[in-house]
Amino acid sequence: MNRLTGSDGAPALAILGPGSTRLVKELDRVFTGWGVTAGAEEISAPPLFPVTDLEKFDVYTNFPQLAWVAGSLDLTDDQFKPVDGRFGPGAVTEARYGLPHATCYGAYLFHEGNQVADDTLVTLVNRCFRNEDHYGGLRRLASFQMREIVAIGSFEHTQQVLARFTERIQAFAAALGVDLAKVPAGDPFFRNDNGRALLQKLSPVKYEFQYGDDLAIASVNTHRNFFGERCGIRLESGEHAYTSCVAFGLERWLAVLTEHFDGDLDAALTAVRAAADPS
Interaction between residue 75 and its own copies (CB under 8 A): yes
| Near its own copies by CB under 8 A: residue from 10, 38, 70, 175 | 70
Nearer to its own copies, 71 or 263 (CB): 71
CA dihedral (191, 194, 197, 198) in degrees, to 10, reads 150
Q: Tell me the C-alpha distance between 79 and 88, whole Å.
A: 9
Interaction between residue 238 and its own copies (CB under 8 A): no
Q: Please, which residues bridge with residue 136 across strands?
A: 138
- 257 with 173: CB under 8 angstroms? no
DSSP state of 88: P
How many positions of this chain bind its own copies (CB under 8 A)?
71
DSSP state of 53: H
| Near its own copies by CB under 8 A: residue from 31, 34, 57, 129 | 129
| Near its own copies by CB under 8 A: residue from 26, 58, 74, 229 | 74
- 33 with 276: CB under 8 angstroms? yes
Nearer to its own copies, 73 or 163 (CB): 73
How far lies 6's CA from each of 73, 125, 215, in Å? 22, 24, 20
Q: Tell me the C-alpha distance between 217 and 231, whole Å.
A: 28
Interaction between residue 88 and its own copies (CB under 8 A): yes
Give the containing element (helix H, strand E) for 204: none
Interaction between residue 68 and its own copies (CB under 8 A): yes
Interface residues for its own copies in 99-118 (CB under 8 A)?
A: 99, 106, 109-112
Interaction between residue 232 and its own copies (CB under 8 A): no
| Near its own copies by CB under 8 A: residue from 30, 34, 35, 91 | 91
Q: How far is the CB of 117 from its own copies (least distance, A)?
A: 14
169: left (phi over 0), alpha (psi -120 to 50) or beta: alpha
Interaction between residue 155 and its own copies (CB under 8 A): no
Interface residues for its own copies in 21-50 (CB under 8 A)?
A: 21-22, 24-25, 41-50
Interaction between residue 18 and its own copies (CB under 8 A): yes
